[in-house]
Structure 1
Amino acid sequence: MIFLLFFFFSLTNSELTSYNKQLEWIVGHWRSEFSGKVFWPTVPTMTFGEDLKIMEAPLARSANVQFLNFSARAWSHSTKDHFHDEWGFVTVDPTGNATLMTSGNNGFTTYEVGHVSHNKLVLTLKDIGRISFSRDLPVEDLRRTFIRHDDRFLEQVIEMRTATHPKIGYLEHTRVVYTKQDS
């Protein structure tokens, strides 16, 4: 019995690889009950909650790469209606470049790349996939920024450009401040 418990523990509690140690500050369970804000010219501004988990994962031995598991679940603060879920993976390569790949139940998959600095991760869209019957305007560009303010608070800002807004650059789409949850 002790051997099985040790075996299970060793499979689920991986240590971060040397490259992914640059993301140590973002690993954990983060939650916002109502601090999320949605902004966009074609939708009413609204408040949302979100649960964000970025967790250690075992090394993928076949590729010799460790991806961290990424999940986010968002809901309307006022109605408690479910907004969307995102699942994916994040990693850092030997040169310090970060990659985030996500797939969501809103019909989008994204491939984002960027750079990690002290308590900050900035990612930009490299590719996006979408289901053919999605009702959203085509996203043409996206920038996602994570900032760890202190031991308790993490902020995420998503800026984007669609086929109609803006013509150049980005517009802020969402901003949420999370509180670190006890494990």
Structure 2
Amino acid sequence: MTNVFFFVCFKAPTSFIPLAGVIQKVFTVLNQHNQKISWMTGKWRSEFSGKIFWPTVPTMTFGEELVILEAPMAKSSNVQFLNFSARAWSHSTKDHFHDEWGFVTVDPNGNATLMTTGNNGFTTYEVGVVKPNKLVLTLKDIGRISFSRDLPVEDLRRTFIKHDDTYMEQILEMRTATHPKQGYLEHTRVIYTKQKM
């Protein structure tokens, strides 16, 4: 296998953030389990279709870029993962909102696992069943730094829906220590357009 060195710049609204690394193989065929979420792979972007809703914050519009690509396989685990990264910013001010980095994979039974960590002090472990053109993940565990100012998230549901080859939607619903008492409230909704890589 040939190593490919690369340098990537993710364009943030007001700056460039360089990332350097090594990929063993740029494009590899997804295994039969991860092929169930192949519709999610690639670079997805929304300049202004993201909406934030929450009882304690004003409704806002945001942009977000989502990148889901195959990660190099760790020989010790022999499990194929996909890299997952998301970067969001305010549509009106272009201020940076947050980043999420992590991995997603599907097991032989069609169960997906998404593990993320964000620059908001949270790390999540989410699981769900893959369906055609839809993935619904629910929170199994969450960690947070002790000095985070956000309300503790008690539950979360993340839904990805493929509308067609050009558009994908992500809906994030959650429950915090104060809202709602039961079930979920919608927190964000964004429709992405697939980008050329």
Find the aligned partners of 1:129 and 1:57 in 2 and give their Cα distance. 23
**Residue matched to 1:3:** none
* Counterparts of 2:86 and 2:29, CA distance in 1: 22
3-state SS of paired residue (2:71):
coil
Residue 144 of structure 2: which of 105, 126, 130 is its match?
A: 130
Task: Provide the C-alpha distance between the structure 1 equivalents of 2:88 and 2:166, rounded to a whole number of angstroms.
Answer: 20
Partner of 1:23: 37
Cα distance, 1:7 vs structure 2: 1.4
Deviation at 1:172, TM superposition (A): 0.1
**Greater strand percent: which structure?**
2
Output one character per residue of 1:61-120: Cα deviation in whole Å (capped at 9) or x when no partner.
211101100000000000000000000000000111000000000000000000111010
Structure 1 counterpart of 2:181, which letter?
K
Q: CA deviation at 1:29?
A: 0.2
TM-score (norm 2): 0.88
Q: How many angstroms does 1:59 deviate by?
A: 2.4
Task: Quote the RMSD (CA, aligned, Å).
Answer: 1.0
Q: Which residue of 1 aligns with 2:73?
A: 59
Question: What are the residue-to-residue correspondences of 1:1-183 with 2, within 5 Å?
Answer: 7-8=2-3, 11-183=25-197
Cα displacement (A) at 1:18:
1.1
After TM superposition, the structure 1 stretch with the greater mean CA deviation from structure 2, 125-134 or 53-62, is 53-62
Q: Distance in 1 between matches of 2:176 and 2:135?
A: 22
Asked if structure 2 preserves the Cα contact closer than 8 Å seen for 1:109 and 1:128, the reply is yes
Runs (5+) with no aligned partner, structure 2: 5-23
Give the TM-score, by structure 1 length.
0.95
Distance 1:11 1:85 in 2: 25
Moved over 3 A (4+): none
Aligned length: 178
* Structure 1 unaligned blocks of 5 or more: 1-5
Q: C-alpha offsets along residues 112-150 of structure 1, whole Å, 9 cap, x if unaligned? A: 000111010000000000011111100000000000000
